[in-house]
Amino acid sequence: MALLLCLVCSGIAWQEAPPTAPATASPAMDVVTAFEKVLTDVVARTEGSVVAIHRNKEENARETQAVRGRNRPPRTEVMELPLQARLTSPTAISFDFGSGVVIGDEGEILTTFHVVRGATTLIVRAAERQEFEAEVISADPRSDLAVIAPVAGPGRPKPRLKPIPLGDSGQLRKGSFLIALGNPFNAAAQDGRANASWGILSNIARQAAFDAEARSDQRLGLQLPHYPTLLQLDSKLNLGMSGGAVVNMKGELVGLTTTAASPSGYDAMAGYAFPMDAIGRRVVQTLKEGREVEYGLLGVRYLPGPKNNVIDVVTPNSPASQGKLMPGDSIVAINDVPVLDFASLMVAVSAHAPGDKLNLKLIRNGQELEKTLVIGKFPVEGEIIASVRPASWRGLRVDHPSLMIGAPIGIVPDEGLPTGVVIREVETESPADKAGLRPYQSIRQVGDQSVSNPAEFAKAVAGLKGPVRLMTDRGPIVVEP
């Protein structure tokens, strides 16, 4: 009995004992939880805008065929079966793939040019397992950026795509939190779901490290990604991440992943992204419109040296020559942007389009001077794709004189640029063709009016009727209506 009483008393005591108070989260945990929510919310809002891109490419292809408005080889069942099998099989792995980011209401997708260059067919897989064929509407080899769009037509339903807003990478600082979204190892091609990684911005305005063989090709130095323009991330970027999104904590696109740095024998610890800064936003908007991206040109050459900003050569008839720049001048600023070397000069000028006025500060014989000049057009090498081209006049399209630098019959820049405008294209059987005009001829006058750029030429020929006399480098030529 005594034992039973003891058990009952102890049971009552146990029931009446106050419950243990729940553990309260520490302030540090509150911060971590809040940041985690911001991170997951940004990924949820933006991952649907990232797509996987598969390129079908012929071996040793010299030009891209999957271009809007360009004739393509007929698609046969034999051609399509292997491609469709690779894309629809749950275990299939493609070794020719990349990423892209939806940036337009009509399904325009921004990616890197090297992901789509040479393609005969482009297949895109997006969120909700959507799959559709795409075509290039514009591409710029200098920035290595391209914009593709879904192929429209009967039997091709419009895909449901959500564009991502563009941000400003100029607002970023070292240590800014960033999220990278893409298609590593073709993972997203299986189900349309992008992979996410996050980290910080390691550095800004970096120059990617390339192997010695690539460095030895001086022509590569003319391409923007080889200049200090790139964002450096500590996020790990694997194969297939080229063309992926880099977003800030607001869910805005601030960069496009372009390459990873992986020294031989080491794990990839750094990735690079093309920034959405003044240059990047201008390039993206131009490509989105299907037009050619144009960059500014001064027409100077610098003496060799890592921190040298002294002009060695001024190309005759170039904007620099017309602006009275001289060998020995040191350019120290362009539109108040400091210039420390040739690389920073290229970046500063490339932020502007041909025809823009630039204010230059320079040092000449120990004295500071200011010059204002109108820049020309930088001759971009490589395959330029633009589905929207300038209107022709009587079958003729003209360009800036600097086109001759990159022409197949190109000139040596030191010998000077031609005056006037240069013929870029002559349509077959057009009045210009019948008059005997050919590509790379220069036109100096329309009637009695001198012309020095395409805008002046367009203004001079506007509204003209009847025969028009053009003064060219080969003498006068009359173009009939």
Q: Tell me what the pLDDT averaged over the chain comes to.
A: 82
364-371: long-range pairs with CB below 8 Å, 24+: 364/326, 364/328, 364/329, 364/330, 365/328, 368/332, 371/323, 371/324, 371/325
* Dist. CA 240–CA 295, nearest whole Å: 29
Statement to judge: residues 226 and 95 lie in one domain: yes
Instruction: Give the structural domain span for 176.
Output: 30-293
Residue 120 maps to a domain: yes
Mean pLDDT of 294-321: 84
Mean pLDDT of 227-235: 82
Statement to judge: residues 364 and 398 lie in one domain: no
Statement to judge: residues 372 and 448 lie in one domain: no
Statement to judge: residues 63 and 192 lie in one domain: yes
Total domain count, the chain? 3
Mean pLDDT of 144-154: 93
Whether pLDDT at 279 is above 50: yes
Statement to judge: residues 363 and 419 lie in one domain: no
Per-residue confidence (pLDDT) for residue 242, from 0 to 100: 86
The pair of structure tokens assigned to 170 is: 């100029």
Per-residue confidence (pLDDT) for residue 416, from 0 to 100: 66
Per-residue confidence (pLDDT) for residue 60, from 0 to 100: 74
The CA–CA distances, whole Å, from 238 to 40, 257, 262, 318 equal 21, 10, 10, 43
End-to-end CA distance of the chain: 125
The pair of structure tokens assigned to 298 is: 């001064």
**Beta strand pairing status for 300-302 and 177-182?**
unpaired
Statement to judge: residues 174 and 114 lie in one domain: yes
Q: Which of 38-47, 216-225, 231-240, 243-252 has the lowest mean pLDDT?
A: 216-225
Residue 451 DSSP symbol: -
Last residue of a domain, one of 251, 268, 293: 293
Statement to judge: residues 152 and 164 lie in one domain: yes
Per-residue confidence (pLDDT) for residue 75, from 0 to 100: 56
Last residue of a domain, one of 258, 293, 328: 293
Statement to judge: residues 345 and 444 lie in one domain: no
Statement to judge: residues 228 and 360 lie in one domain: no
Statement to judge: residues 336 and 242 lie in one domain: no
* Dist. CA 198–CA 236, nearest whole Å: 9
Per-residue confidence (pLDDT) for residue 2, from 0 to 100: 47
> In this structure, what CATH number is given to the domain that contains residue 175?
2.40.10.120
* Dist. CA 228–CA 214, nearest whole Å: 16
pLDDT digits (tens, 9 = 90+) for 394-446: 999 999 988 777 655 544 555 567 788 999 999 999 999 999 999 999 999 99
Per-residue confidence (pLDDT) for residue 216, from 0 to 100: 33
Statement to judge: residues 458 and 475 lie in one domain: yes
Whether pLDDT at 210 is above 90: no
Name, in order, each residue with C-beta under 8 angstroms of 100's C-beta and a sequence gap of 6 or more. 50, 51, 52, 53, 109, 110, 111, 115, 124, 148, 243
Per-residue confidence (pLDDT) for residue 316, from 0 to 100: 86
Per-residue confidence (pLDDT) for residue 477, from 0 to 100: 95
> In this structure, what CATH number is given to the domain that contains residue 468?
2.30.42.10
Q: What would the 3-class secondary structure string for 278-302 be?
A: HHHHHHHHHHHCCCCCCCEECCEEE
* Dist. CA 169–CA 167, nearest whole Å: 6
pLDDT digits (tens, 9 = 90+) for 99-144: 999 999 999 999 999 999 999 999 999 988 899 999 999 999 999 9
* Dist. CA 252–CA 254, nearest whole Å: 6
Residue 6 maps to a domain: no
Statement to judge: residues 407 and 313 lie in one domain: no
